[in-house]
Amino acid sequence: MCTRILYQGSEDLVITGRGMDWNEDMASNIVILPRNTQYTSYAGNNPLSWTSKYGSVTTYGYNAGVADGMNEKGLVANLLYLAESQYGHNPQAQDLCMVQWTQFSLDSFATVAEAVSFFQSTPLNILAGVLPNGRGATMHLALSDASGDSAIFEYVAGKLCIHHDREYTVMTNSPIFEEQLALCNYWKNINGLTFLPGSISAADRFVRTSFFLNAIPRTLVKNYTTALPNQSYHQQALASVLGVIRSAGVPLGVQDPDKPNLSSTLWRTISDHQNLVYYFDSATAPSIFWIDLKKIDFTQLAKPLSLPNAQNSIYGGEVSQLFGDFKYPTAELIGSIMTF
C-alpha cells in the first residue's frame, strides 16, 4: 500500500508525490478543513483534545479520517501502511485515534521541525483499531514542508522512531524504514538505467522510485520546453514527479489477497508546497483535478467542505468552487466502521 516521494528542486521548488494502493474502494473524498476547530480523539480512555491552528485540504478514507493532505503553511502529511507497526501503551500518555494522526499533524504544525519537537517531547498512545476490511490499521506517517525538510514516524516494538532528515525522500511500506535504507544502499551500486527491481513489493518500489527521483532533472530541460504549459520549469517538475509516482503504481485489479500492501493503486496526489496547490489523480478517471489553497479564504471558513466521490467522479482543472457541506465523523460512526 502506497509510495511517497519528496522532490527538492531549483528555484526553491518542493513537491511531494504519493500513491494510495489498497485492496478495495476506500470511498475517498476531498475535504477542506477549517482553522480554529476543536477536536477530540475518537477513541481512548484519556483522549487527546486540540484546536486546529491551520486550515488544510485533505483526502479522507472510508469517510473516517485523513489519509493525505496539505495545510495552508505547506506542510504535507502522508499516511501509509506498515504491517510491522507496534504502538505499545503508555498509561501516562493521552490517546489519539489512528485515523486522526494525519489530521492532528496538519492542524497543529507549520513545519516538520515543529512536529518532530512535539512528538519527541509529548508521548501519545496511537490507537490503531481494525479497518472495515478486517486489516489492522497499522500505519506510519511521513511529513514534509515547504523548506524541503522531511521526517518519517514509525512505531516499532512499542516505541516511536523518528527519522528526520531532508535526505529521507522516499517511503513505501514493509520492511521498517531503517531496513529499507539498507536495501536501497545496496542498489545504489547498480546502474538503474540498465537494471531495476520491478515487482510490486514495497522494497522494490522503494528502490525504483529512489532511482527515478534522483534521476529526474532539477532544472529546465530544453528538449521538452515547447511541450510545457508556459514553458516553465515548475510545470516540468510537476510532470516529472507525477511520472515517478505513476511508475510505482499497480494496475487496477492486481493484488495479493493476503498482503494489503500489494494492491492496486486507487489514486495519487501531488502537493506543490511552494505554490500551495494540491493535485488529485484517480486511477479510475481520465483527468486530473486540483485545489489551489490560495483561493480558499481560511480566515472566513467556518465549517468543513467536501468534494464528494472524488475518486469515482470525473472532475478536471481547479475545483475549489465545487465543494459542498461536509459532516465530521462522530465517535459513534468511527466505532461502527472500526473496532478498537
DSSP string, 147-197: TS-EEEEEEETTEEEEEE-TT--EE-SSS-HHHHHHHHHHHTTS-TTT---
> Residue 44: which region, alpha, beta or left (left: phi > 0; alpha: psi -120 to 50)?
left
Cβ atoms of 162 and 146 within 8 Å: the answer is no
DSSP code at position 48 = -
Q: In this structure, what C-alpha cell is assigned to residue 88?
A: 505499545
Catalytic residue from among 2, 97, 161, 184: 2
Residue 71's alpha-carbon distances to 12, 54, 276, 295, in angstroms, are 18, 6, 8, 13
Cα separation, 299 vs 181, in Å, equals 42
Active site residue 97: no
Cβ atoms of 25 and 310 within 8 Å: the answer is no
- The helix or strand, by DSSP H or E, that contains position 140, with its residue range, turns out to be strand 139-144
DSSP code at position 38 = E
- The residues annotated as belonging to the active site are 2
